[in-house]
Amino acid sequence: MERTHTGGHPEADEADRERAARVWQGMGTLVLERYNRRKAVADALGMSFNRVRALRRLAGGPITLRELAERLTADPPYTTVIVDDLVRRGLAERITNPADRRSKLVHLTEEGEAKAALATGILMTPPDALLALPSEDIRALDRVLTKLLG
């Protein structure tokens, strides 16, 4: 069946739509259920996954609390609770913002950087089932995901 383009998006036939829905559901099951690394990383670091997310967002360098809240898609009061806990744990510090001495930046301590790196390592390690695939399947997945991610 020939595909037409409307609004810049190809129209899929019904079989393609069903296949795409099955693929999408399968991707979600793989990442969010079967090989969900959130519990593993939270257990390894001894903190909630939201705190782990904050550590990883702070690994890029000092940012304001407001910027962190935006990156976490969380409200500022909840982000303050998270940062307070990271500070209590010795993983983060608040420092004066050199660009605006009235505001503070949040940055990781050396221990916080090490924990963020550990978290990233856990989260980015592919499951054994993926590593066991034939290389041509891994290349095909890589090609498709690269295309989907733009």
Domains in the chain with CATH codes: 35-144 (1.10.10.10)
The Cα–Cα gap between 115 and 108 comes to 10
Q: What's the whole-number mean pLDDT along residues 9-17?
A: 78
Indicate the SS3 state at residue 67.
helix
Q: What's the whole-number mean pLDDT along residues 44-69?
A: 96
Share of the chain above pLDDT 90, in %: 79
Residue 6 has pLDDT above 80, yes or no: no
Q: What's the whole-number mean pLDDT along residues 74-94?
A: 97
With bands split at pLDDT 50, 70 and 90, how would you rate the model's confidence at 125? very high
Residue 11 has pLDDT above 90, yes or no: no
Instruction: Report the pLDDT value the prediction gives residue 5, as an integer from 0 to 100.
Output: 43
Residue 2 has pLDDT above 70, yes or no: no
3-state helix, strand, coil in the chain (%, to 5): 65, 15, 25
β-pairing, 5-6 vs 9-10, is: antiparallel
Q: What's the whole-number mean pLDDT along residues 58-73?
A: 96
With bands split at pLDDT 50, 70 and 90, how would you rate the model's confidence at 9? low
Residue 133 has pLDDT above 50, yes or no: yes
Q: What's the whole-number mean pLDDT along residues 88-111?
A: 94
Instruction: Report the pLDDT value the prediction gives residue 37, as an integer from 0 to 100.
Output: 92
Measured in residues, the chain has a length of 150
The pLDDT mean for the chain works out to 91
